């Protein structure tokens, strides 16, 4: 009789650990959604106009995120990630509320793992592309007499830098979610 009670307690403890892990998976999806959506919002507000003094000549500068293909890529990648994260978040919350497992089969765990990897690499690629342009804006072009762009348009550069930070944060959420899928795959027979 006592042995049966111990087995039931151990089974209940395993179920609670699984639900806690699944809850953490939903939190990671929500974090990815929030970081990606915030990255889009910050990037879309990245516009500024200023006047630069280049060798005594006043030059009006105007910059907007849509002028750079790299920043357009960042917005596109974030949009795709927001849609993916929203779908996964809604599915995870629904399954948590109904009491069913978030990843009911090995096939679905592999599918989530692959999708998380794909969107994670997409975000890393977009962040890297945007970082290259941002670094060029910050340091200027060294082999030409053009000064750095961010002295004149610091608000624009700060918006872009914050957006890229959020892109890399979104990547970390996706990488963590992918790690949890590996844990599910390793524990599922």
pLDDT tens sequence across 151-180: 777 888 888 999 999 999 999 999 999 888
pLDDT at position 147? 62
* Structure token pair of residue 51: 């006047």
Say if CB 177 and CB 116 are below 8 A apart. Answer: yes
Structural domain total, the chain: 1
Q: Average pLDDT for residues 93-102, to the nearest whole number?
A: 84
CA-to-CA dists, residue 157 to 23, 41, 119, 125, angstroms: 37, 15, 25, 19
Give the DSSP per-residue string, 61-76. EEEEGGG-HHHHHHHH
> What are 13-48's pLDDT values in tens digits?
777 777 777 888 899 999 999 999 999 999 999 887
pTM recorded for the entire structure: 0.83
Tell me, what's the pLDDT at 9?
Answer: 77
Range of the domain at 167: 1-187
Please state, in angstroms and rounded to a whole number, the distance separating the CA atoms of residues 168 and 176.
Answer: 12
The answer to whether 82 and 40 are in contact (CB under 8 A) is yes
DSSP conformational letter for 153: -
Average pLDDT over residues 36-62: 81
Whole-number average pLDDT of the chain: 84
Contact of 49 with 62, CB cutoff 8 Å: yes
Per-residue confidence (pLDDT) for residue 180, from 0 to 100 = 83
Q: What φ, ψ does residue 67 adopt, rounded to 5°?
A: -75, -20
CA nearest 71: which of 45, 100, 92? 45
């Amino acid at each position: 009789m006592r042995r049966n009670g111990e087995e039931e307690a151990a089974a209940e403890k395993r179920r609670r650990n699984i639900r806690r892990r699944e809850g953490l998976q939903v939190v990671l999806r929500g974090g990815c959604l929030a970081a990606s959506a915030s990255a889009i919002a910050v990037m879309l507000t990245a516009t500024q106009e200023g006047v630069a003094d280049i060798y005594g000549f006043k030059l009006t500068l105007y910059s907007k995120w849509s002028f750079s293909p790299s920043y357009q890529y960042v917005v596109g990648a974030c949009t795709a990630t927001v849609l993916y994260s929203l779908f996964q978040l809604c599915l995870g919350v629904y399954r948590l509320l109904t009491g069913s497992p978030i990843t009911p089969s090995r096939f679905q765990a592999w599918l989530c793992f692959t999708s998380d990897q794909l969107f994670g690499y997409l975000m890393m690629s977009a962040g890297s592309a945007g970082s290259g342009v941002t670094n060029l804006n910050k340091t200027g072009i060294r082999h030409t007499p053009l000064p750095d762009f961010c002295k004149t348009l610091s608000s624009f550069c700060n918006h872009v830098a914050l957006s890229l930070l959020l892109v890399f944060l979104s990547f970390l959420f996706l990488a963590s979610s992918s790690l949890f899928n590996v844990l599910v795959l390793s524990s599922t027979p």
